[in-house]
Amino acid sequence: AIVLVYFFSPSVQAAVTTENLSVVMVIDVSGSMSSTDPQRLRESAACIFIDLLAPEDRLGVIVFDDKAEVALPMQPVGSAAHRENIKDMLSARLTPRGYSNFLLALNTAYDQLQAGAAEGSRPVVLFLTDGEPDMPDFAADQTLVSSYLSSLWETVGRFALQGYPVYSVAFSDEIDPDIIRKISQDTAGDHYILEDAADLAVSFFDLLGTLKNRRGFLLDSALLGIEALVFDFQVGE
């Protein structure tokens, strides 16, 4: 179980945001995940994130290795039953395989936001990876790497121009923090660099709190005395 405790000072009014999100969740399923996340903790973290979205929020899911698959076209999160269907679908698509093509994954996410973001909602990309861009022949051809990164930064620039922030969550010692940081900073998002998959659930919770007006979505609008709010999540072994 994960217990999250937040303290609030007296005479502070907790605002409740009415802003809805249009989120594209982009999840790395490359072959390295078999060793960096053998317990599939990214699945537990993603499920917590899905459970905390509002029914009116929109969600799309992309899984990627050297290919990118739209596992869930962007749509309202909807009812509890629909959330369970989304989580079941996600669970079936996390088998590790292949390389890591950041460029294709982000281009696919961009297309999803262009086609499916709700008017007036806040568009967001949640990008989860355990590594860095890694394609066949990268090790042997630095010219190819340079061309690939140039195209990646062009795509990141498109996100910035459209106002689509990318929030990156990266773990393992295989990541390139400079790439992760640049993707998020250039799009006015944020990045979380974790030591291992065990920290994913807390980082996902923290991220959604940031997106939903600094955790205001958890509270009714009220004057609070000094007290603790405790949220207990069962995430499995």
Please say whether the beta carbons of 99 and 134 come within 8 A: yes
Can you read off the two tokens belonging to residue 54? Answer: 């509002």
Residues shown for the chain: 237
What's the predicted TM-score (pTM) here? 0.81
Q: How far apart are CA 191 and CA 66, in angstroms?
A: 22
Q: What is the pLDDT of residues 109-130, one digit of tens each?
A: 999 999 999 888 999 999 999 9
Please say whether the beta carbons of 170 and 191 come within 8 A: yes
In which band, very low, low, confident or very high, does the pLDDT at 173 lie, cut at 50, 70 and 90? confident
Helices 142-162 and 177-186, packing angle to 10 deg = 30
Q: What is the pLDDT of residues 12-46, one digit of tens each?
A: 333 344 579 999 999 999 999 999 999 999 999 99
Round to the nearest angstrom and report the end-to-end CA distance of the chain: 9
In which band, very low, low, confident or very high, does the pLDDT at 227 lie, cut at 50, 70 and 90? low
**pLDDT at position 231 over 60:** no
